[in-house]
Structure 1
Amino acid sequence: MAPQISPSILSADFARLAEDVALIADAADWVHVDVMDNHFVPNLTLGLPVVEALLKHSALPLDCHLMIEDPDRWAPRYAEAGAGSVTIHAEAAKAPIRTLRTIRAAGARAGLGVNPATPVDGLEDLLGEIDMLLLMTVEPGFGGQKFLDVVLPKIRRARALIKDRDLPVWLQVDGGVSAETIERCAEAGADVFVAGSAVYGADDPAEAVRALRAQAAAAGGGE
């Protein structure tokens, strides 16, 4: 699969989200929405009402990443609202299979996210229930963190597990993805890349997206 770029609006201007999403509409594949509840992670960002509002103004599908304490309750609502993809965290979900199936039934892609210290080997039985596996490459909760190289072997392991089962599961990385790190992620097997400050901190966010995609493609993202 060709590399996909999902810019995170965590690094955008919250006072002009619609305008900042429009800046990357012609270049990006998704809009990554980091939903944080100040319980599962130590930060509070935005929630369902903002997602519902953004859906009216975004030409791109929304990639909702729920870093929240009760995803089993809330995730289906994001899918029902019209999000293109909804990711829950393995560390937070109490009934992951039921929740992932409910997300899919509502018409969204179902994603499963894991923190840097969570091994992927224990998730093998869930791979058939998901459309995307998200590997955090920083500790979740805040944007602008430094990429954790320790996660690279886990990216390779996740790619091997997906390939061994011949599953159409996308492999997403989120945290510290930039021009300095995206090639390493792509070489390890990632094919969907969340980039926040690397996009919205650039003078031309759309051009930053195109440049990141080109780097990932040259490094063989997803292979």
Structure 2
Amino acid sequence: MNFWTAWPEHLLADVSLWSADLAAPGAEVQRMEPYADLFHLDVADAHFVPGLLFFPDLVAALRPLTEVPFHVHLMTEHPASHVSAFAEAGANLITVHYENGAEASMAIEQIHRCGLAAGLALQLETPPDVIVPYLNEVQLILLMGTRLGVKGQSLDPNTYTRAQTVRQIIRDAGYEGRVKIGVDGGIREQTVPFLRNAGADLVVPGSLVFKSDHLDETFQWLHALSVPTTDGNTSWKKEI
């Protein structure tokens, strides 16, 4: 878990490989390697969410191509049953969903037994205060900004408030700097600055970066966004 405690203070780009050219994922990883803080690999089982996505074999095939950490996002039923395979394939951080119920805690325990960092994801309808019992167990709270399993959606405007609430919960519980806040879905040029100001430490960009004609400028802009305010600033409300 050492990689997770040594991050720079800039906004982290957890680059979503779901938006890459899937005919050439290895080339896409190498294209993004100079810029990405993590690579985000969604895993879907067609039960927890629609569709099927990314498997351990792909993670293992990509692992030798880069030293950038891999973040595996398990959108599956029975997540604990998948942890070991993705850990062996080369994951560094594995996130499971609160909505998995008691199985989420089982999966988090398994993630730590594998020596990896753990994240907890919350769907749109899940109240932020459910994270409190997990703050001593996870390194990331990942807020979904859109419905699961569908690309290209607009960010739910409640995500700004949810990010600010999660940040306050983390601060009040004494976990500031130990548990990071990420947002996955609806990551656009016009939403990222407001998400950062509302409390996000990490975003999961897809088309924002893969469709960029100027990667240097895009990532320089993203990484340069100022740290979240700590004085209750709510300038993000202008976006709603």
TM-score, with structure 2 as normaliser: 0.86
Among 171, 190, 194, the alignment partner of 2:204 is 194
Structure-2 residue corresponding to 1:155 = 163
Listed one character per residue, the Cα deviations across residues 121-154 of structure 1 (whole Å, up to 9, x for unaligned) are 1221111110101000001102221111112111
Aligned length: 220
C-alpha contact 2:79 2:103 (8 A) present in aligned 1? no
How far apart are residue 82 of structure 1 and its match?
Answer: 2.2
Measure the CA separation in 2 of the matches of 1:76 and 1:128: 22
How far apart are residue 61 of structure 1 and its match?
Answer: 1.0
Q: How does 1:67-78 map to 2 (within 5 A)?
A: 67-78=75-86
- Cα distance change of structure 1 residues 76 and 207 upon mapping to structure 2, 3 Å threshold: farther
2:11 matches 1:9: no
How far apart are residue 208 of structure 1 and its match?
Answer: 2.3
Structure-2 residue corresponding to 1:181 = 191
2:95 matches 1:87: yes
Q: How does 1:193-212 map to 2 (within 5 A)?
A: 193-212=203-222
Among 172, 176, 180, the alignment partner of 1:170 is 180
How far apart are residue 59 of structure 1 and its match?
Answer: 2.8
Among 89, 106, 112, the alignment partner of 1:98 is 106
Listed one character per residue, the Cα deviations across residues 64-117 of structure 1 (whole Å, up to 9, x for unaligned) are 111112212112331233211100111125332232122122121100101111
- The alignment's C-alpha RMSD in Å is 1.6
Among 101, 114, 139, the alignment partner of 2:147 is 139
Unaligned runs of 5+ in 1: none
Moved more, 99-108 or 170-179: 99-108
Higher RCO (CA 8 Å, separation ≥ 6 residues): 1
Moved more, 43-52 or 133-142: 43-52
- Cα distance change of structure 1 residues 83 and 50 upon mapping to structure 2, 3 Å threshold: same
C-alpha contact 2:98 2:122 (8 A) present in aligned 1? yes
Return the letter of the residue paired with 1:116.
L
C-alpha contact 2:15 2:204 (8 A) present in aligned 1? yes
C-alpha contact 1:85 1:111 (8 A) present in aligned 2? yes
2:46 matches 1:31: no
C-alpha contact 1:34 1:64 (8 A) present in aligned 2? yes
Structure-2 residue corresponding to 1:20 = 28
C-alpha contact 2:139 2:179 (8 A) present in aligned 1? yes
Listed one character per residue, the Cα deviations across residues 166-194 of structure 1 (whole Å, up to 9, x for unaligned) are 21001010001121100111111110110
Measure the CA separation in 2 of the matches of 1:188 and 1:36: 29
How far apart are residue 221 of structure 1 and its match?
Answer: 3.6
Q: Secondary structure at the match of 2:52?
A: coil
TM-score, with structure 1 as normaliser: 0.92
C-alpha contact 2:184 2:204 (8 A) present in aligned 1? yes
Among 99, 103, 128, the alignment partner of 2:136 is 128
Structure-1 residue corresponding to 2:6 = none
C-alpha contact 1:3 1:221 (8 A) present in aligned 2? no
Return the letter of the residue paired with 2:102.
K
Measure the CA separation in 1 of the matches of 2:46 and 2:229: 33
